[in-house]
Amino acid sequence: METTCGEIGNESSPKPHVGFLASPGMGHITPLFELALRLVTQHNFQVTFLVITTDTTAAQYNYLHATPHPDLHIVDLPPADMSGLLFDDMKVLTRLCVIVQESIRPLRSVLLSGLNNRPKLQAFIIDIFCTGVFDTCKDLSIPVYSFFTASTILLAFSLYLPTMDREVEGEFVDLPEPINVPGCNRIRTQDLLDQVRNRKIDEYKWYLMHVSRLSMATGILVNTWHDLEPEWLKGIKNEQFFVDIPTPPVYPIGPLTKRIESASDENADVKEVMSWLDKQPKDSVLFVALGSGGTLTNLQLTELALGLELSQQRFILVARTPSDSAFAAFFTVGVDSDDPRAYLPDGFVERTKEVGLVVSSWAPQVVVLNHPSTGAFLSHCGWNSTLESIKHGVPMIGWPLYAEQRMNATMLSDEIGVAVKMPVVGEGGETVVVGRKEIEQVVRAVMEGEEGRKLRRRVKELEASARETLSCGGSSYETLAGVAESWKRQGCAITTRSCMEPG
């Protein structure tokens, strides 16, 4: 656990007040909530964390209420009436954006109500899909900061997207060369995120609208640090294109990740996983988990299971009901608890019981990654999972499923050197079924081979760097402290003006 400078501020003066709003989904909520916790525990703030309750999950509720703090106030927005607005065939991003759009309609009255008599907000922090708040906050003179919860590679591409939309004809995936983001490394067209692969669909229009508003933010907080993505951060800061947009100041304040769940948790699943891990040798277990919403097809899940069996390596497999949709569990995380024997190969659980542990739907990911027995992580390369893995010194096998995960997997393997990328993406960007023999070979290489030892050395370097950057005097700590100080000064100015106004 990183060391810090402790709380900063004058206890006798009123604590500055900031607000948060995240779109639905643990991938968005987690980093914003971890930032909120840092502000109240390290920088002497009070925080109001607004929660969109429409389509909420049990996992989201449990997470938000697991760490009570007197200066952290959870405020539920009223459930929105979604009748006639959501459809079964609606893609995840479109569904998410429609929910956010409807849920923030009462935001003005919520903010004007004084938020239970707390001081006026010095800043309002949102994620990329909550840009509908800009007009309301502008009218109320509340500066808005965007917390970009994904990688800097996606931030750079997203800032460049409105220009591409104007200048490029046809589909981006049909371009003959990789996409040359100004001042940054090139992006392969087959790695483009799903939402921009077809410019005619609603998901593209929603995504383009939100990223086009990034320039309206007072600043952009990013969940990364200089040692992890130096080229991308340098490009956004120094390239004239980004200066001309104009791009708001970018503040790397990461890695902000989910705290380690209590090992003494009464949850039987946590106890089972911990008990099993405690019996395994150091660095011997491959943790297989594809995020809070990721799912595999029946065929691919079968090949993955049999590949694990052939590898003869120890493993924990988080199994989820197969689906033809790669993100079928996005809005139901924490609900699915089927018996994995119903959809894993016949006899697999019994045959591998000496070396493997199969759990249904969910496992305490941070606890597992922090355990000394865990030697590698087969991951979908979502950004939160990526940061958790690096922060705990665990190399990865990249198995991207959707969104920007292909970009992340390529960067982690080709640029950063902490992952081996499983060949699940074809030359045209299509999903490819990987066979059991290839899975066996990759797993063996990472768990036993020289390639795995090289990845492990590199990720241990970044683990130390992550700990340092979040410590007192570290780059991310000091960057956040500087932003927090600017909010405090703004609060003092507001208080001073208020005191000078005639009564």
- Hey, which residues are catalytic here? 28, 127
Strands 396-398 and 285-289: unpaired
Alpha-carbon separation of residue 461 from 52, 263, 265, 410 (angstroms): 38, 26, 31, 19
Please state, in angstroms and as integers, the Cα–Cα distance from residue 140 to each residue in 38, 51, 86, 108, 218, following that order.
26, 20, 31, 8, 14
What is the DSSP track for 425-471?
A: B-TTS-B-PPPHHHHHHHHHHHHHSHHHHHHHHHHHHHHHHHHHHTS
Task: Retrieve residue 9's tokens.
Answer: 């501020």
Burial class (CB in 10 A: 0-12, 13-18, 19+), 342: exposed
Integer angstrom CA distances of residue 475 from 1, 466, 489: 17, 10, 21
Amino acid at 423: P
Kindly report the backbone phi and psi dihedral angles of residue 377, in degrees, each rounded to the nearest multiple of 5, phi listed first: -135, 115
Instruction: Give the CA distances from residue 323 to residues 299, 317, 426, in Å, rounded to whole numbers and listed in that order.
Output: 10, 17, 20
- What secondary structure does DSSP assign to 241-265, as a single string? HHHHTTPPPEEE-----PPPPPTT-
Q: Indicate the DSSP class of residue 69.
A: B
Give the three-class secondary structure for 287.
strand
d(CA 15, CA 188): 47
Please confirm whether the linkage preceding 246 is cis (ω < 30° from 0).
yes
- 471: tokens are 């410590």
Look at the alpha carbons of 463, 465, 469, 472 in this order and tell me if their dihedral is positive or negative: positive
Residue 274 contacts residue 263 (beta carbons within 8 Å): yes
* Spatial distance between the Cα atoms of 26 and 380, rounded to a whole number of angstroms: 15
Query: What phi and psi values does residue 4 have, to the nearest 5 degrees?
Result: -140, 175
